[in-house]
Amino acid sequence: MQHSIKWEQRQRLTLLEDTVFWSGELSTPVLIDCFGISRVQASKDLTLYQSLCPGNIRYDKYLKRYVLDETFKPAFMTGTAAEFLQVLKVRQGGALVTLARNLPEVDVVEPVFRQIDPAVLQAVNQAIVSGKELRVRYQSMSRTGPALHRLCPHALAFDGLRWHARAFSYTHHEFRDFVLARMSSAELSYAAEVDASEDAAWHEWVCVRIGAHPGLSATQKQAVEFDYGMTSGVLEHKVRAALVPYFLRAMRISRDDLAREAMIQQVVLLNRDELDRYWRF
């Protein structure tokens, strides 16, 4: 089916399908704004998609937009959690996807992807987009069995190994991170009563200052400073306050960094006192 469709239109149909699947809805302006096309062209794309994939989307006159149909079957996407989250990682990194020749052979070592139920991720994303609550069945490592939580999610976060939903928990009466892979079910509920602006740790940015381990030789320090792009021996990196523990863990910095062997540790945290209240491990 896709071989007879021009490349640029196939990209638009893929975005159309991805958007309506993960968020549950799609309006014509999304296609117009994303691809810089006219309303007429966007309408043609929607008409083409409906003819190619009958039963996937339908127009809701009340909402004045297209919504996901119950008989949906992916045609341009896989519908896996890994696919969707990879798109988020690429977008967050600001990378531009380009076509180039004469590239070297490349292999990338990445941690094994933690399995996430697509239906759970779909519900979480829709709750974030539409501002609704979730009823989640969650298995934490501090309990022997799963527990039901009432959450108001407002963002997703990746710590280098696992994906989390940033949400207000009515169980804990605070904003917390919930590992998506630990959610066995998630159902949309009422409109959220908690505003995302109340999550101070998410909206606050702090500066993490990192330097070479003092136990290294002068030339070793120079190598580390160049490796990390340090200026005057210091790397300053802005991080959301809520994500400071994850960033330090990704940098392999722990509370005993100064006590560890310099050749192994290599970098240490310089502004420990400033960040102590954000450090949860």
What would the mean pLDDT of 121-126 be, rounded to a whole number?
Answer: 95
Q: What is the CATH number of the domain that holds 65?
A: 1.10.10.10
Q: Is 263 within the bounds of a domain?
A: yes
Query: Is 94's pLDDT higher than 90?
Result: no
The answer to whether residue 155 scores a pLDDT higher than 70 is: yes
DSSP letters, 27-60, are: -HHHHHHHHT--HHHHHHHHHHHHHHSTTSEEEE
> Which residue type occupies 113?
F
Q: Are residues 184 and 240 in the same domain?
A: no
- When divided into structural domains, the chain yields a total of 3
- The proportion of the chain whose per-residue pLDDT surpasses 70, expressed as a percent, equals 94
At 243-264, the pLDDT tens digits run 999 999 999 999 999 999 999 9
Residue 201: pLDDT band with limits 50, 70, 90: very high
In a domain, 6, yes or no: yes
Residues 124 and 154 in one domain: yes
Domain shared by 147 and 180, yes or no: yes
Q: Tell me the one-letter amino acid at 245.
A: P
Residue 248 lies in a domain: yes
Q: According to the model, what pLDDT value does residue 102 have?
A: 59
Classify residue 97 by its DSSP letter. P
Compute the C-alpha angle 181/156/227, nearest 5°: 100
CATH number at residue 142: 2.30.30.520
Residue 99 belongs to some domain of the structure? no
pLDDT value at residue 108: 77
Pairing, β 65-68 against β 57-60: antiparallel
Task: Look at residue 94 and tell me if it is in a domain.
Answer: no
Q: What is the mean pLDDT of residues 52-81?
A: 91
CA–CA separation, 27 vs 126, rounded Å?
Answer: 15
Last residue of a domain, one of 181, 200, 219: 200
Cα of first residue to Cα of last residue in the chain, in angstroms, is 52
Give yes or no for a contact between 14 and 20, defined as CB atoms under 8 angstroms apart: no
